[in-house]
Amino acid sequence: MDRVFIENLTVETVIGIFDWEREIRQAVSLDLEMDFDIRPAAASDSIEDTLDYKAVSKRLIHFIEQSEFQLVEALAENCAAIVLTEFPVSRLKLKLSKPGAVRGSSAVGVIIQRDRDSTGA
């Protein structure tokens, strides 16, 4: 299967378990790899036949900016569910990073892989 990717989509949100984290906005970064057959789009050269990564990005940005999760795990699961239920993606790999969360590390986070069957979509 082909993959459409979005790399380093950075969005500010409320994320974290500590009181001080609930009062500020912090950056999170997403990398997505989405299974999608690109052959119809390659043949037609038409946006209607492809996975519109701009639409995916805009949807996730809007959701993340409005969210207030405590855990990156919860945010990652919700982002994956949005992509799998609202876009023609059969499977995805999502990496959600929280830069600067641990001293001495550039980022921490989770990497998940989900498919449409696991969401009930």
Active site residues: 98
Contacts of 64 (CB under 8 A, 6+ apart): 11, 13, 28, 30, 75, 79
In angstroms, rounded to a whole number, what is the distance separating the alpha carbons of residues 24 and 120? 34
Q: What is the C-alpha to C-alpha distance for residues 84 and 77, in angstroms, rounded to an integer?
A: 11
Burial 17-35 (b: 16+ CB within 10 A, else e): eeeeeeeeeeebbbbbbbb
